[in-house]
Amino acid sequence: MPNVYWFKGQVSRDDREKLHAHKGVVIWFTGLSASGKSTIANQLEKILYDRRCSTYVFDGDNVRHGLCKDLGFSDADRTENIRRIGEMVNLFIDAGIIAITAFISPIRQDRKKVCDLVGKDRFFEIYIQCPIDICAERDPKGLYQKAIAGLIPNFTGVSAPYDPPENPSLIINSDKEDPQTASNRIIELLEKHNII
């Protein structure tokens, strides 16, 4: 962009990571509505917090109340939603924080762009896999009931597509694994990659 220059401060990401005593990364959850992204993200954050890690959970609905409140659920708006979140997450990674995101993020290409932005070694894609009939049965916000009745257009899995990850860092089958077991597996993954 003309006349706009990146300002490099005196404190680097490496310095901040030393202060936090862990790396800055994103744990990117993806999966259908009600698959368990928020539940597992929050469980994971509690475990990391108890280990004195600096974390922040980005939740779909919360972001849509503010940063992305001008966006809807068309393909173009979903792409812009994930682009903005990706840029925000990238800044959190630069701050040395473990960002945890709980967005359906149904479009594979959008997730790939975030991965390309933050770097492959800082992007952990966690696929929360759950059969849609179980998601629809859970229906904690009553969204499936409304979507099936035709009251919510472009609802992922009902009237809009979901591209499952081709090569995720981890698959969690939330119809078989409880949130605690799932979170512990993510902790193991982070340990294995020397993130924490």
State the catalytic residues: 105
Q: Does residue 78 interact with ligand ADP by CB under 6 A? A: no
Q: Does residue 81 interact with ligand ADP by CB under 6 A? A: no
Give the binding range for ligand ADP (CB under 6 A) out of 8-16, 77-85, 118-126, 170-178: 170-178
Only one residue has tokens 């404190």, namely 11
Structure tokens at 168: 């995720």
- Report the side by side order of strands in the sheet with 55-59: 55-59, 98-102, 25-30, 123-129, 170-173
Give the binding range for ligand ADP (CB under 6 A) out of 29-37, 109-117, 145-153, 188-196: 29-37
Give the binding range for ligand ADP (CB under 6 A) out of 37-45, 68-76, 107-115, 186-194: 37-45
CA–CA distances in Å: residue 8 to residues 17, 25, 50, 116 = 16, 20, 32, 21
Measured at the CA of 115, the angle between CA 105 and CA 17, to 5 degrees, comes to: 115
Q: Which one of residues 23, 24, 28, 36 is an interface residue with ligand ADP (CB under 6 A)?
A: 36
In the complex, which residues of this chain contact ligand ADP (CB under 6 A)? 31, 33-40, 102, 138, 140, 174, 177-179
